[in-house]
Amino acid sequence: MFFPEKMLRVGIAIEPQQSDAVLEAIGKTGLLHIDKREHRLKSESETNRVNTLRSFVQKYMATLEIEPDRRAVVSVSDLADLLDQTENTLVVIGAKIDEISIQLKDSEQESERFDKAGRVKTALAPVVDLQRLSAGLTYLNMRVAMVTMEATELLRLAMKQKGLLVVDRPLFEQTNAVAVFFEEEDAIEVGRAFNTVKAVEISDEYFSDQAFALHRQAEEQLQRDKKAMADEFRAQLQNIENSLDALHAFEEARTALREVNDKLLLEGWVPQKSAKTSALT
């Protein structure tokens, strides 16, 4: 059975000129759970700035698959200077990570296209060799797509009226792989028919084994580049995240302060078993 830890409510009176130092010292103990019911948002600008920077660094770490490292102890003194330094660092690092992030997304989309092409090629293999035809057709054009089974019949009827050849095979539930063969003069009609049935078309280049091999090579190199970038920036990003997490907690504590008799009062809860030995009480 789980027994929740008993907590003791405390109030801490702080001299205004010492508030930042005291808040930082309290934060390092990790004992006080601040009462957040009455946030004053005295530092709303700084809070928003910290939160924005946190979202950026977390995005960059996710892109490079970098895990947080909470072991570092950071100081929150000279808040403005620390935020300025963090912004400048993230601008430099972020430009490089954003570039590889775009490349990774493009590569992922290419992989999805090759995967669809592979499925369609396998489905149509008993009737046509898409790889050979995509590279060797001279007098005919070919368009290949994934089409719902219901729409396949509509496409077949439309193409039959033009005397065009249509081949199709089941791809997966309620979806067919379809190939249409036509001369250049019928290209516009075929395009209209594909649009009408909302065909998911696959470009001929994705049926090439050579093109797929080149894509895999580029993908593997991109993963190596990503790993190298993660190794280069891991410690820096982890330290920045720790600093911003500390600043976030610091700003939350600031907003929880309220003025009482010329002092600032911070209220919250501490574990009862720690209260006897803690300087907080």
- The answer to whether residues 212 and 114 belong to one domain is yes
Q: Which pLDDT tens digit goes with each residue over 7-55?
A: 777 777 777 666 666 666 666 666 666 666 555 545 567 778 888 999 9
Strands (E), the chain: 7-14, 33-34, 141-148, 165-172, 175-182, 200-202, 258-260, 263-271
Domain containing 114 equals 110-216
- The answer to whether residues 172 and 234 belong to one domain is no
Give the span between the Cα atoms of 139 and 182, in whole angstroms: 9
Query: What pLDDT does 204 receive?
Result: 92
- The answer to whether residues 116 and 209 belong to one domain is yes
Last residue of a domain, one of 216, 247, 262: 216
Q: Which pLDDT tens digit goes with each residue over 62-115?
A: 999 999 987 655 565 566 678 888 999 999 999 999 999 999 999 999 999 999
- The answer to whether residues 64 and 16 belong to one domain is yes
> pTM of this prediction?
0.73
- The answer to whether residues 84 and 121 belong to one domain is no
Flag whether 235 is in a domain. yes
Give the span between the Cα atoms of 93 and 220, in whole angstroms: 22
Flag whether 280 is in a domain. no
- The answer to whether residues 174 and 233 belong to one domain is no
Residue 24 CA: distances (Å) to CA of 27, 116, 124, 127, 281 = 5, 55, 67, 73, 16
Q: Among residues of the chain, what percentage have pLDDT more than 90?
A: 56
Mean pLDDT for all residues in the chain? 84
Flag whether 155 is in a domain. yes
Flag whether 201 is in a domain. yes
178, pLDDT greater than 90: yes
Give 281's pLDDT tier (boundaries 50, 70, 90): very low
Last residue of a domain, one of 216, 239, 265: 216
- Burial code (b: 16+ CB inside 10 Å, e: under 16) for 82-110 equals bbeebeebbeebbeebeebbeebeebeeb
- The answer to whether residues 233 and 190 belong to one domain is no
Residue 271 CA: distances (Å) to CA of 23, 26, 254 = 18, 14, 21
Q: Which pLDDT tens digit goes with each residue over 200-217?
A: 999 999 999 999 999 999
- CATH code at position 133: 3.30.70.2750
Query: What pLDDT does 226 receive?
Result: 97
Flag whether 222 is in a domain. no
Flag whether 182 is in a domain. yes
Give 245's pLDDT tier (boundaries 50, 70, 90): confident
- Split into its structural domains, the chain has a count of 2
What is the rounded average pLDDT of the residues 148-159?
Answer: 94
Give 3's pLDDT tier (boundaries 50, 70, 90): very low
Query: What pLDDT does 263 receive?
Result: 75
- The answer to whether residues 184 and 259 belong to one domain is no
- The answer to whether residues 239 and 150 belong to one domain is no
What is the rounded average pLDDT of the residues 267-271?
Answer: 71
Flag whether 62 is in a domain. yes
- The answer to whether residues 212 and 166 belong to one domain is yes
Give the span between the Cα atoms of 100 and 79, in whole angstroms: 31
Last residue of a domain, one of 166, 192, 216: 216
The phi and psi torsions of 242 (rounded to 5 degrees) equal -60, -45
- The answer to whether residues 168 and 263 belong to one domain is no
Query: What pLDDT does 45 receive?
Result: 73
174, pLDDT greater than 70: yes
- The answer to whether residues 260 and 196 belong to one domain is no
Flag whether 171 is in a domain. yes
Give the span between the Cα atoms of 137 and 93, in whole angstroms: 48
